[in-house]
Amino acid sequence: MKKFLLLIIFTLSITSVYAEDEITLEPDSLTPKVAAILEEDIESPLLESGATVSEPAQEIHTHSKFYEELSKNAHNVYNLQIENTNVPSCLLKEPLTHEFEKGPLESLHLWSVIQMNMSSNIPEDGDVDNLFRIGTINTIIDGKFKGGKEDFRIMFDPTPQNKRPFGQQFIQDLYVQTHRIPHHNLLIGNSRPGVGIEGAQSPYTLPFVNRSQISRNLANVRKFGVRLQGNYSLVDYDLGGYSSDTFFSSFFPGVEFNGWVNLKPLGKTDGRYGKLTTGGGIVSGTRNSTDFFTAGAYVGYEYKKFWMRAEYANADGSNGGDGLTKKQRQGWYVTLGYHINKKLEILARYDEFDPDKKISHNNQREYTAGINYYIKGQALKLILNYVFCQNDAKPDSHRIIVGTQIAI
């Protein structure tokens, strides 16, 4: 993976150096037919008004346009500056966005995200296990309809995994939403519902490689339904009614309600005292005659380069990332982050989870320290995590994770 990362950085550096230079075509780099024309020093018919373009001359022109476009995009990527790391971003948004003059669509943006990591698991009573993992491969189509009030998203996920059949995993986001109601989005389709804060967070903006334990066990799913999101200066909320099915595994096995409300007491202070958010919500429903109920609470604070997030969840049955269960579980985490500069961020997290409250002495604790280096914001970043896993019911272990994220 180190070679792969060096190759990316080296390629961006080299192309940027030559981005403003005049592009020349060497005979050895072209086809024999094109090279022969260059050696004979024949002037291109493209320069003569009204002349018929020969096949070799057309090939020269095609090569020239291709390298010009390639050099321009490489130059733009090299000079791309992304400071906001709270939202997803990509390297080639402009060339991969098409604007329509006619028809129902206003624009269409095609992009993709790849997350990879190399982890070294070091159990205290065993051998080191090194594993290279493709964490995420996503291809996203974002479309906007004429007028800009409605848009849609289709996201495909061909990531190799063993949790569920490929057909259930392949289609992730599939929704249409409207922004006609002031301060609101009304969404219909398949999406990641608002189960907690980190559980509903985009995977492209996560601070660590892995979500917290309550987020990956009690949340981190996609469901089909109707969802209303409101956003005001002092409050925001996410309310939705869904089928309790997850990832298209069955047809409407029951109904589910997801509701979350955040209060923002400092919302009208223009950030002078930072940004404070407190919130809470519930998930309640039934699936195949099994009832579940999860409640959560959250507090987050940001001030200049520092930020903090803390979240608690308690479940009497759940329908989240690790499937439907009747178990009573609970957990909480605290994450601290500090931006040393615009590129470098350091992190720490304490994370505790009780997978079954009816069983004593089985808690799982994770102590995580991390470094994020944002080469181009969330579009190109390097990740280093150290995790100490402390378990009441099984041996402790250490984990070192080196990863990268590339969004094109």
Domain ranges of the chain: 2-78, 97-407
In a 13 Å sphere around the CA of 48, the CA atoms on its Cβ side amount to 10
pTM: 0.81
In this prediction, residues 31-40 reach a mean pLDDT of: 47
In this prediction, residues 151-174 reach a mean pLDDT of: 90
CA distances from 167 to 62, 163, 185, 248 (A): 40, 12, 29, 9
One-letter identity of residue 114: I
Local confidence band at 49 (pLDDT 50, 70, 90 cut-offs): very low
pLDDT at residue 78, as a whole number = 82
296 pLDDT higher than 70: yes
- 380 vs 15: which has the higher pLDDT: 380
CA distances from 119 to 9, 122, 268 (A): 22, 10, 44
- 30 vs 153: which has the higher pLDDT: 153
Local confidence band at 73 (pLDDT 50, 70, 90 cut-offs): confident
pLDDT in tens, 238-270: 999 999 999 888 899 999 999 999 999 999 999
328 pLDDT higher than 50: yes
- 164 vs 277: which has the higher pLDDT: 277
- CATH for 97-407, among 3.40.350.10, 3.30.70.141, 3.60.150.10, 2.40.160.10? 2.40.160.10
Using an 8 Å Cβ cutoff, are 264 and 271 in contact? no
Local confidence band at 63 (pLDDT 50, 70, 90 cut-offs): confident
Distance, CA of 89 to CA of 79 (rounded, Å): 15
Structure tokens at 212: 């917290």
In a 13 Å sphere around the CA of 41, the CA atoms on its Cβ side amount to 0
352 pLDDT higher than 90: yes
167 CB neighbour count, 10 Å cutoff:
10
50 pLDDT higher than 70: no
pLDDT at residue 43, as a whole number = 45
44 pLDDT higher than 50: no
pLDDT in tens, 174-198: 999 999 999 999 999 999 998 899 9
53 pLDDT higher than 60: no
pLDDT in tens, 221-233: 999 999 999 999 9
Local confidence band at 52 (pLDDT 50, 70, 90 cut-offs): low
For residue 270, report the phi and psi dihedrals to the nearest 5 degrees: 60, 30
pLDDT at residue 65, as a whole number = 78
